[in-house]
Amino acid sequence: MSTTYSGAEPVTDTAEHPNFEPVSVTPRFENPRANVDPDQSKNWFMRLVPILLVNKWPFTIGISLTIVTMLLGIALPATIGEIINVLPAAVTESEPEYFLTLIAGLGVLSLFRFVFGFLSNYQLSRVSNQLEADLRSTIYNHLVTLSFSFYDRIQTGQVISRANSDIKAIQMFLMMAPMMLTTIMSFVFAAAYMLSVSVTLTLAALITTPIVYMISMKLRKIMFPLSWLTQAHQADVAVIVDENINGQRIVKSFAQENHQLNLLAKAAKKLQWVQVRSIDVSSIYNPVIENITVIGQVMVWVYGGWLVIQGEVELGSLVAFNMYIMMIQMPFRLLGMLLQMEQRAKASAGRVFEILDEKPEIVDRPETVALLNPEGHLKFSHVNFAYGDEPILQDLSFTIAAGETVAVVGRTGSGKSTIARLLSRFYEAETGTITIDNVDIRDLALKNLHYHVGQVLDDPFLFSISIRDNIAYGRPEASMDEVIAAAKAAQAHEFITHTSKGYDTVVGERGYTLSGGQRQRLGIARALLVNPPILVLDDATSAIDVKVESAIHDALVNLMAHRTTILIAHRLSTISLAERVILLDQRKVLATGTHQELLAQVPRYSEILSQQDLSEVEEATETNIDDESDGEYRGRITEQIRLQGKDTTEGDPS
């Protein structure tokens, strides 16, 4: 249930932004029609049943075709046996109509068996691949609901491995399991025919069955931990490869190529050991399972031949009997391989369920409030927050008036960026409240909150799509003119036109084909285009040179007009855009006021600025640090900051 507000007054018209989706795109694929069973006490296969049931009709058709194929296969040995039995009579008699009828029937049975076998394999393959797609969609749909804290403690390679190779292992087993089921059914039908021929001969053929069963259970017990380790070590390799690719610039910068190769070699060695161990086990147990049934086959030929000589069994029946032995042996021949696949699927399912069983820490309340046109009044009241056991904010309280531009200044690690993350509910405050227009953000729907609070980060993430699509990511329906206007305001248009295909140029992964400053300008353009009523700039111009930054600031002044803006700032040039400064220290607000007031009244403010902005002031004043002691140098920097504040004061009409 949702209540909608425009500012502080209730309204009834919510058609303009019914879902508050900043990205409105038509999905190419349907969402999965079912999820796994949430009951963790159930068997792994039973938890997959809901996904299997949504494909029940295609699966039923595939199984039915497979059963028909199996029944046709069961009829073939009996027909061949009958042909052998009537062959002497057909040769001696002048009209062998029955023999020819059996030959024709054998041909028809073989043809139909081929057709139905093809159709059953095709149908089951389609179903198994649909199951794989549904399960993968289920995982990805769940991943987007999880909170940032989940991604803080899991590696990217682990997620990729579980969403790909682990799902593939499950899919392979689900594709083979129906085939194994039909071989078991063929075992039953074949055994029934064999019992009709001779009970004692059937017992001789099945004498090794209990031994095969015990060996198979032993193999199953050994393979499960090996299968789990295999999937885990594959994920470890994926993690290292992912980090090496994404961190290639760092690796090369510190000349650590050999170190990274050694890490990969060690991980690959562990994976190799587990895989070789699995092969060793398979090479011992699988041949035993497959060949131990030969003992029964030998006994059938010896004992069955003696029965033929005694006239108790016909030759054709003995031939058919031995063909049926091959059928009853097939489940045992497949059993070893299927058990390995089952154990690997079980291990993979356990790893997949670890993600699916993860509950998002931040979710919408049963009854939510929706803001259509918030004024942007922000209030933090006695907020406490910690990353794990490390406290970041303690009893943090401040207010920001609607339409006000405020800079948040503090030492590294003081919690500046954390404020932005808490405001967007990327993380949840442990205690205290955060309100927008006197509405607790925990009462807002998350999509509604994110629709109204825009962020520009110091290292904006760019997708491997065109520059135009990156800028229009929050408004895919934006016209080209709007995209260009946003790029010009962010001082990005000029460098975009110099790329190979202009706005259609596809940037590399994470935008690393562009410089840091270029990425930041595209991030600013993206925010300019979305135009949210509450804007957070998290050191958004840190990688941009002073000349370009000055032009961007002119655009930001227009952007920040009539909207609430939080500037997480390090540069004096950025702080100068703010009407008020909030100084963080010791995990709380130490002081708040204008830049000039804090310079005059709070010594810690000057000290923090001197530590964070040495390079900028040094460049502006051409100070040489080598010629001065640290204390003298710090004093000069502090004095220069004060002078800048004085100059700003003189130029301020207020």
Q: Is the pLDDT of residue 115 over 50?
A: yes
- 38 is a domain residue: no
By the 8 A CB rule, do 347 and 235 touch?
no
Which residue range(s) make up the domain with 160?
44-356
Q: Is the pLDDT of residue 94 over 80?
A: no
- 18 is a domain residue: no
- 349 and 279 within one domain: yes
- 211 and 86 within one domain: yes
- 436 is a domain residue: yes
- 414 and 341 within one domain: no
Q: Is the pLDDT of residue 623 over 50?
A: no
Side-chain half-sphere CA neighbours of 268 within 13 A? 8
pLDDT for 624 equals 40
By the 8 A CB rule, do 384 and 393 touch?
yes
- 387 and 260 within one domain: no
Round the average pLDDT of the chain to a whole number and report it. 78
Q: Is the pLDDT of residue 433 over 50?
A: yes
DSSP 360: P
pLDDT for 615 equals 46
The torsion angles phi and psi of 43, rounded to 5 degrees, stand at -60, 150
- 117 is a domain residue: yes
Question: Please, which residues have CB within 8 angstroms of residue 338's CB and are 6 or more apart in sequence?
Answer: 173, 176, 177, 180
User: Into how many domains does the chain fold?
Assistant: 2
Amino acid at 534: I
Q: What is the mean pLDDT of residues 546-551?
A: 65
Question: Please, which residues have CB within 8 angstroms of residue 218's CB and are 6 or more apart in sequence?
Answer: 285
- 302 and 267 within one domain: yes
- 464 and 325 within one domain: no
- What element of type H or E holds 261? helix 257-310
CATH code for the domain of 63: 1.20.1560.10
Higher pLDDT, 288 or 626: 288
Task: Extract the tokens encoding 120.
Answer: 């059953």
8 pLDDT band (50/70/90 cuts)?
Answer: very low
- 31 is a domain residue: no
- 184 is a domain residue: yes
- Residue after which a domain boundary falls, among 307, 327, 356: 356
- Residue after which a domain boundary falls, among 356, 386, 417: 356
- 314 and 432 within one domain: no
Closest by CA to 103, choosing from 79, 122, 125, 124, is: 79
- 320 and 438 within one domain: no
For residues 164 and 329, give the distance between their C-alpha atoms in angstroms, rounded to a whole number: 34
Please write the tens of the pLDDT for every residue from 122-171: 888 888 888 888 888 888 888 888 888 888 787 777 787 788 888 888 88
Give the strands of the sheet with 9-10, arranged side by side: 9-10, 2-6, 368-371
349 pLDDT band (50/70/90 cuts)?
Answer: confident
CA 134 and chain centroid, separation: 14
- 209 and 101 within one domain: yes
CATH code for the domain of 468: 3.40.50.300
Q: Is the pLDDT of residue 332 over 80?
A: no
Question: Please, which residues have CB within 8 angstroms of residue 427's CB and are 6 or more apart in sequence?
Answer: 147, 148, 149, 362, 385, 418, 421
Q: What is the mean pLDDT of residues 250-269?
A: 74
Please write the tens of the pLDDT for every residue from 12-66: 334 444 456 544 455 555 667 778 888 888 888 888 888 888 888 888 888 888 8
pTM (global) more than 0.75:
no
By the 8 A CB rule, do 416 and 581 touch?
no
- 408 and 261 within one domain: no
For residues 531 and 529, give the distance between their C-alpha atoms in angstroms, rounded to a whole number: 5
Q: Is the pLDDT of residue 440 over 80?
A: yes
pLDDT for 626 equals 41
With a pLDDT cut of 90, the percent of the chain lying above it is: 9
648 pLDDT band (50/70/90 cuts)?
Answer: very low
- 436 and 292 within one domain: no
- 30 is a domain residue: no
For residues 539 and 557, give the distance between their C-alpha atoms in angstroms, rounded to a whole number: 16
397 pLDDT band (50/70/90 cuts)?
Answer: very high
Task: Extract the tokens encoding 442.
Answer: 């925990």
pLDDT for 333 equals 62
Question: How many CB atoms are closer than 10 A to CB 604?
Answer: 15
- 5 is a domain residue: no
CA angle, residues 288, 289, 294, in degrees to nearest 5: 85
356 class by beta-carbon count within 10 Å (0-12 exposed, 13-18 middle, 19+ buried): buried
Q: What is the mean pLDDT of residues 303-311?
A: 80
- Residue after which a domain boundary falls, among 356, 385, 406: 356
- 382 and 269 within one domain: no
Please write the tens of the pLDDT for every residue from 166-201: 888 888 888 777 777 777 777 788 888 778 877 887
